[in-house]
Amino acid sequence: MSIPLIHYLALSALLFVIGVAGVLTRRNAIVVFMCIELMLNAVNLSLVAFSASLGDITGQALVFFVMAVAAAEAAVGLGIVIALFRNKQTVNIDEINILKW
């Protein structure tokens, strides 16, 4: 018995929205990164679901791209957080507000 596509998509959307909400509202930079990972994985989920549903392997191939990009982005992002922490002694995003006039 297969699960209907819509359930996968709903789960994916839910995870994505949770991820977005987290990115926009959480104060800890590490948590923001985790939420970004969550968003990416939500997209992965919907890609795989479509791939299985449509019988097209392209979706699953794309998942590998997304995972690679996510890994790279996480690495670079965490590097920036460490550099920030060294200068500002905090990873609280609210206090890192110098990107303005």
Partner 1 sequence: MMSSLLVALVVALPLLGFLINGLAGKWLKRERLIGTLGSGAVGGSFVISLLIFLDLLQRPPESRTIVVTLYEWIASGSFTAPVAYQIDQLSTVMMLVVTGVGFLIHVYAIGYMHGDHGYWRFFAYLNLFIFAMLNLVMADNFLLLFLGWEGVGLCSYLLIGFWYDRKFDKGTTGDAAKKAFVVNRIGDFGFLIGIFLIVATFGSVRFEEVFTQAAGLAVGTPVMLWITLALFVGATGKSAQIPLFVWLPDAMAGPTPVSALIHAATMVTAGVYMVARCSLLYALAPTALLVVAVIGAATAIFAATIGLVQNDIKKILAYSTISQLGYMFLALGVGAFTAGMFHVVTHAFFKALLFLGSGAVIHAMHEEQDIQKMGALKHHLPTTYRTFVVGALAIAGIPPLSGFFSKDEILWKAFSSGAWTLWLLALVGAGLTAFYMFRLVYLTFEGRPRWHGNVHPHEAPPVMTVPLILLAALAAIAGLLGIPPSLGGGNAFEHWLEPVFARAHRTLALAPHVAEPIEYLLMALSVAVALAGIWGARVLYVRRTELPERIRQRFAFAYRVLFNKYYVDEAYEAAVVSPVVRGSERLLWKKIDVGLIDRLVNGTASLFGAISRTIRVVQTGVAQTYLFVFLLGVVATLAWLLAG
Question: Given the rule CB under 8 A, which residues bind partner 1?
Answer: 20, 23-25, 32, 93-94, 96-101
Rama region for 24: left / alpha / beta (φ>0; ψ in -120 to 50; rest): alpha
Shortest Å, Cβ 99 to partner 1:
5
Whichever of 3 and 14 has its CB closer to partner 1, that residue is 14
Whichever of 89 and 97 has its CB closer to partner 1, that residue is 97
Whichever of 29 and 47 has its CB closer to partner 1, that residue is 29
Shortest Å, Cβ 95 to partner 1:
9
Shortest Å, Cβ 24 to partner 1:
5
Whichever of 2 and 87 has its CB closer to partner 1, that residue is 87
Shortest Å, Cβ 62 to partner 1:
20
If we measure between CA atoms, which residue out of 81, 77, 100, 97 comes closest to residue 89?
81
